[in-house]
Amino acid sequence: MTGQPRWFVIRNNTPAAATLAFMSLIDLLQGDPREHLGFDPDELKAKYLAERDRRIRPDGNDQYTEVVDEFARYDEDPYTERIERDPVDDEVQVVVVGGGFGGLLIGGRLKEAGFTDVRVIEKGGDFGGTWYWNRYPGAMCDVESYCYLPMLEELNYIPKHKYSFAPEIMEHSKAIARHFELYDNALLQTGVTEMRWDDEIERWIISTDRGDTVRARYVAMANGPLSRPKLPGIPGIADFTGHTFHTSRWDYDYTGGTNEGNLTGLADKRVAIIGTGATAVQCIPHLGASAEHLYVFQRTPSSVDVRNNRETDLDELGDLLPGWQQRRMDNFNVLVSGGDQDEDLVSDGWTDIFRNLTGIAAKTASRQLGRRLTSREKGKLMELSDYRKMNQVRHRVDEIVEDQATADALKPWYRQFCKRPCFHDDYLPTFNRPNVDLIDTAGRGVKRITSTGIVVENADGTETEYGVDCIVFATGFEVGTSYTRRAGYDIIGRNGETLSERWADGMRTMHGLTAHGFPNCFFLGFTQTAVTVNVPHALNEQAKHVRYILEQARDRGAEVIEVTAEAEQAWIDEMKDKARLGARFYAECTPGYYNNEGKPGDNPVGFFAGAYGAGPIRFFRLLDEWRENGRLEGLDLK
């Protein structure tokens, strides 16, 4: 290792080293950690900060291009031919906006509770939400399928693999819709354009881009947090005359192939992909295998750890007694929220990260020390464990990628949760293919797009243009813009007040689910609620809660439910009080949507602005207790 900076030195890099030895936790806290780590944490931190600094841009979240006007085609549905139909003018009991997991869960839970007249309005041509849109080759879920796919017990279904591929998840979504007969009343290929509360008739009036007028007593918003594709604000992006598309609108007519790859249409094509986030990590191996030449344009590398996907082994799932999925979800949720469990049922990269970084590591150290750790010690332990974990991730790059310069460029220099951790076994080996080039932009991003290619600036200030036939934008989704802009419509509540006005300085809800001035309206997703790795778990808890409220209203003969201004304010105060989701942590992170592109705290509608700081365990318990006491605290019913 002569000549290498000290942070490259890793003493203990076997997979088993992922679990830090108990004694070493104490060693890390006492004395000079360099002796035990084999690297200098201060030096490493300085490296992280330097890498962050060169990526910070003054335009932050404004750097992206919205998919409107000349870019509107990037938002169009390439999967389902548009079916013309007459406008609908009628009334239903409940309108659910969005047919993804949130919509399926709330729709299904309400059907279970005897609300028969539920209508889902969905922009896509079918149910599935993110799994309808994200059909790119290699698309798969990176959370264990037995926890992630909703309602497995209700549908008596066991996924085929530990991590499901997108087509299976889409099929499962459709199966849920069929099971709860949600197709019967659905309006697919339909975008809501406005939702207006009519105080006279105590109904919502929903208008759509198909000219529909639907009246509904209740509305539930399940629009999804990452649903609107975004484009990079690269000069010249509109000048390119070759083929382009966004990963969430994959053009199989052009590429050929399927989710399993075999993209025969690319055999004679020079393909560029811009972006190396969680999506790109999954589709790059297929592009590399099929394209004549693939250029991967990278601004910031992802952290990519072992996937180890495998076919389902029923033995691994245990007894499958009633309630098995909820128990597995709860076990996973506790572990990935920093809690402790006797058994790690999922036992994968996610739980491994959390075992090392959060509560369990601290608890172990505290047992060994014979006293509680101070919060400073806990923070230090987490930071040092994080450095070790990321050293291991970086070491994995060296082990797999043959060309040293490419390997070095693929190493992520930030803490584990600055960006979404990725897990893949074919991503890094793709860079050993002779037809694949990593074009690392050293944090600067692509400089310019011309009519025939992509220009990057080299370290010496010169430029290189790469001629390509096709550009795939793996540049993610709108985050941190207003709720109503992402939803694509405004909600007009009591007294004509719009949700965009009401939430102009940040969301205002009780439990993330209801807002004062917007009676009979419920929000699912990432609105002042608990954020957890397994998003469908949170959506299910929200759906169960809304079901309970509507059941109570029905049983009590109430027509209108509205959160009081006081209860809403109390929840906002509670959110503020618990807003400890690491302001400093994210300030030190490389830019990304987790930290509002390097400006955490600057955006009242940023990704984590809607996250309940006390975490999902506490939040789910809070909802349980609220239901158990039966007082419907904070709600006015009439």
**Contact mark string toward ligand NDP, 388..417, x via CB under 6 A:** ------------------------------
Q: Indicate which single residue of 65, 189, 255, 300 sits in contact with ligand NDP (rule: CB under 6 A).
A: 300
Among 47, 420, 485, 554, binds ligand NDP (CB under 6 A): 420
- Judged by CB, which is closer to ligand NDP: 558, or 581? 581
Contact stretch for ligand NDP (CB under 6 A) within 259-267, 271-279, 316-324, 561-569: 271-279
CA separation, residue 417 to residues 349, 354, 570 (Å): 13, 10, 30
**Span from 31-39, 270-278, 320-328, 409-417 in contact with ligand NDP (CB under 6 A):** 270-278
Q: Which is nearer to ligand NDP, 282 or 603 (CB)?
A: 282
DSSP secondary structure code for residue 603 in this structure: -
CB of 100 to ligand NDP, least distance (A): 12
Nearer to ligand NDP by Cβ, of 279 and 364: the residue is 279
Provide the residue count of the chain: 638
Burial class (CB in 10 A: 0-12, 13-18, 19+), 313: exposed
544 Cβ contact partners less than 8 Å away, ≥ 6 residues apart: 109, 623
Least separation in angstroms between CB 632 and ligand NDP: 34
Which is nearer to ligand NDP, 187 or 231 (by Cβ)? Answer: 231
Q: Which of 75, 122, 142, 478 binds ligand NDP (CB under 6 A)?
A: 142
Sign of CA dihedral 67, 76, 210, 503: negative
Cβ distance to ligand NDP smaller for residue 261 or 277: 277
- d(Cα 108, Cα 120) in Å, to the nearest integer? 11
Rule CB under 6 A: say whether 446 interacts with ligand NDP.
Answer: yes
To the nearest whole angstrom, how small is the minimum distance from the Cβ of residue 29 to ligand NDP?
32
Binding to ligand NDP by residue 226, rule CB under 6 A? yes
DSSP state for residue 597 in the 8-state scheme: T
Contact range with ligand NDP by CB under 6 A, out of 16-24, 106-114, 310-318, 472-480: 472-480
Contacting ligand NDP (CB under 6 A), which of 275, 338, 412, 517?
275
Q: Which stretch binds ligand NDP (CB under 6 A): 154-162, 188-196, 292-300, 542-550?
A: 292-300
Size of the site for ligand NDP (CB under 6 A): 26
* CB of 318 closer than 8 Å to CB of 345: yes
Contact in structure between 567 and 561 (CB atoms under 8 Å): no
Q: Sheet holding 243-246: strands in order across? A: 243-246, 470-473, 270-274, 293-298, 436-440
Q: Which residues 587-616 are close enough to bind ligand NDP by CB under 6 A?
A: 592-593
The piece of 109-117, 261-269, 295-303, 316-324 that touches ligand NDP (CB under 6 A) is 295-303
Report the nearest approach of ligand NDP to the CB of residue 426 (Å).
14
Q: What share of the chain is helix, strand, coil (3-state, %, to 5)?
A: 40, 15, 45
Q: Of the two residues 295 and 297, which places its CB atom closer to ligand NDP in the complex?
A: 297
C-beta closer to ligand NDP: residue 280 or 373: 280
Query: Least distance from C-beta 592 to ligand NDP, angstroms?
Result: 5
Of the two residues 106 and 166, which places its CB atom closer to ligand NDP in the complex? 166
Please, which contacts does 624-632 make with residues 24 or more away whose CB atoms are closer than 8 Å? 626/511, 626/545, 627/545, 627/548, 630/552, 632/549, 632/552
* SS3 state of residue 276: coil
Cα separation values, 397 from 138, 392, 402, 403, 404, Å: 20, 9, 9, 10, 10
Q: Does 296 bind ligand NDP (CB under 6 A)?
A: no
- Interface residue with ligand NDP, options 217, 270, 286, 299 (CB under 6 A): 299
Rounded to an integer, what distance in angstroms lies between the CA atom of residue 7 and that of residue 155? 50
474 binds ligand NDP (CB under 6 A): yes
> CB of 533: closest distance to ligand NDP in angstroms?
9
- Report how far residue 346's alpha carbon sits from residue 356's, in angstroms, rounded to the nearest whole number: 15
Q: Which is nearer to ligand NDP, 24 or 430 (CB)?
A: 430
227 binds ligand NDP (CB under 6 A): no
The answer to whether the beta carbons of residues 57 and 409 sit under 8 Å apart is: no
Which residue, 4, 9, 17, 1, is CA-closest to 39? 9
Place of tokens 């739980």: 351
By CB under 6 A, which span of 297-305, 498-506, 507-515, 604-612 interacts with ligand NDP? 297-305
HEC string for 119-153: EEECCCCCCCCHHHHCCCCCCECCCCHHHHCCCHH
User: Which stretches of the chain bind ligand NDP, using CB under 6 A?
Assistant: 141-143, 226, 232, 234, 274-280, 282, 297, 299-300, 420, 445-446, 474-477, 592-593
